[in-house]
Amino acid sequence: MGEKVTLDKIADKSVFEQKYRYKNKIGDRADSKIRQRKYVVESLCRDFSDKKATALALRIMNCSASQKCNQPFCPMCRHKKQELFAKYVIDKFGSVSADKLRLLTILHSVHYNPLDINSDLIKKLRKDMDNLFDKIQDCADDNIRFIGAFEIDAIAGDEELSDRKVNTLSALGYDKDAKNACFLLHFHAVMYIPSFQNPKYDIEREIRKYYNGSHQVDFTDLHKDKTHDENLHNMATYMLKFRLQHSKSVASDDDEKQFTRTQYSSLYSYPIAKSVVMAVDRCGGFQGLITRRLK
């Protein structure tokens, strides 16, 4: 293990001049991931009196192969967790026919105070989903199964949103006239769609009845131009991407489909990035955000 990083070294920037020792352990786009690490640490250390934020920055900076920090915004720990998570998803769903699987997205809530996003809120939302799927399960011939994770996106106060996105998010707490940033808590999961006692039973309709905002729920089929394992791997790593960039979702020609792909643009400002990083930490990081139903 190299010399321990201190706040003084972060303050004088000298630590960022050192070569990142684990570049071969973080997958593709390594340079970009290393830059994000620097950006995350800088966002956490804008105010050195914030002891929780600076302690998190030091854990990330002092992560090593022998003493891992297990933080979502550490490039080495995130890459390892993504690959382990992908293997887990493939193990559970690799033998399931593609036509029985969907990528489920649920938009849960918009928050202007990032402190409202914490482990208690995740537990409440998880319980709400359990109650919904327990009810649906009573009508199914087989167990409803999914593996997913909660995610936090930020929206800047001056960010321009499409009319449809404004309409969708307004029902979840978004105020188009507000000038400060807000944070969208949402959920992605690989979901197994079982057969039902009544062949006319529509699970997608039932989930949309519960989460009944316009475009609040999306079901996406697996890509036909990729292998089954590639699809599962890509969905799993996508769920644990922990990006800190503004994005927009590009709609398909079919207006019933919410998204086809996501385009990323500028990085969040330092204060917004810090809010997201600290919210992820309050939620328990990887362990707190990952959610599964495999009964």
User: Does 1 fall in a domain?
Assistant: no
User: Does 2 fall in a domain?
Assistant: no
Quick: pLDDT tens for 274-285: 999 999 999 999
On whether both 39 and 102 belong to a single domain, the answer is no
Long-range contacts of 228-234 (CB under 8 A, 24+ apart): 228/94, 228/98, 229/90, 229/94, 231/98, 232/86, 232/89, 232/90, 232/93, 232/94, 232/190, 233/86, 233/89, 233/90
User: Does 38 fall in a domain?
Assistant: yes
Quick: pLDDT tens for 204-252: 999 999 999 999 999 999 999 999 999 999 999 999 999 999 876 644 4
- Domain boundary pick from 75, 103, 129: 75
Task: Name every residue whose Cβ is closer than 8 Å to that of residue 138 and which is 6 or more positions away in sequence.
Answer: none
- Give phi and psi for 56, each to the nearest 5: -65, -40
| Owning domain of residue 261 | 76-293
On whether both 115 and 181 belong to a single domain, the answer is yes
On whether both 70 and 216 belong to a single domain, the answer is no
On whether both 100 and 30 belong to a single domain, the answer is no
On whether both 54 and 134 belong to a single domain, the answer is no
Q: What is the pLDDT of residue 231?
A: 97
Contact, 267 vs 125, CB < 8 A?
no
In this predicted structure, the answer to whether residue 255 has a pLDDT above a threshold of 80 is no
**Residues 251/252/257/259 CA torsion (nearest 10 deg):** -40
Quick: pLDDT tens for 168-196: 999 999 999 999 999 999 999 999 999 99
Closest to 102 (Cα-Cα) out of 2, 221, 16, 183: 221
On whether both 166 and 23 belong to a single domain, the answer is no
Q: What is the pLDDT of residue 2?
A: 65
